[in-house]
Amino acid sequence: MMWISAKNFPFLTLNFDFNVVIAAAVAVFGCGMVMVGSHSFHRVGTTVNPMKPEATTSLVMEGVYRFTRNPIYLGLAMILSSWGVYLSNLSSLIFVCFFIIYMNHFQIRPEERMLHKLFGARFERYKHQVRRWL
């Protein structure tokens, strides 16, 4: 959809040097966030499956989780952003915003409700100390 949008709105194209290098760097960093976040879950033996938050056995608050409550989703948003930078078209970046809005509403909030149910005050303290995204 990002590519189609960029092709259909060529007047929103931004020409700037090093877009490929910047896109690659953002993509690598995003992939790293996904891998580090996933590894933290595996290390403590809790689920990575976003469709079964009730299967969570541990509240992970160490490592990258000290800076963001959702490094995996942040990494995915960065990968999408890198594609938008590569395409160099403002219309394609709108889809990153849609991704974030969708994830907040349909994935993160239900997960947070389940984490509150499972971990109570401990999760609430963590939620107030660490931002959802950055």
Express each pLDDT in 64-104 by its tens digit: 999 999 999 999 999 999 999 999 999 999 999 999 999 99
Residue 91 domain-assigned (yes or no): yes
pLDDT category of residue 13 using cuts at 50, 70 and 90: very high
> What pLDDT sits at residue 16?
87
pLDDT tens digits, 125-134: 999 999 999 9
Residue 42 domain-assigned (yes or no): yes
Residue 134 domain-assigned (yes or no): no
The count of domains in the chain is 1
Residue 103 domain-assigned (yes or no): yes
65 within 8 A of 129, measured Cβ to Cβ: no
> What pLDDT sits at residue 68?
98
Q: Which domain holds residue 31?
A: 2-129
What is the percent of the chain where pLDDT is above 90?
Answer: 99
> What pLDDT sits at residue 55?
95
Residue 15 domain-assigned (yes or no): yes
Residue 102 domain-assigned (yes or no): yes
What is the percent of the chain where pLDDT is above 70?
Answer: 100
- Between CA 101 and CA 15 the distance in angstroms is 28
pLDDT tens digits, 36-45: 999 999 999 9
- pTM, two decimal places: 0.95
Residue 90 domain-assigned (yes or no): yes
Residue 57 domain-assigned (yes or no): yes
User: CA angle, 98 as apex, 95 and 99 as ends, to 5°?
Assistant: 90
> What pLDDT sits at residue 97?
96
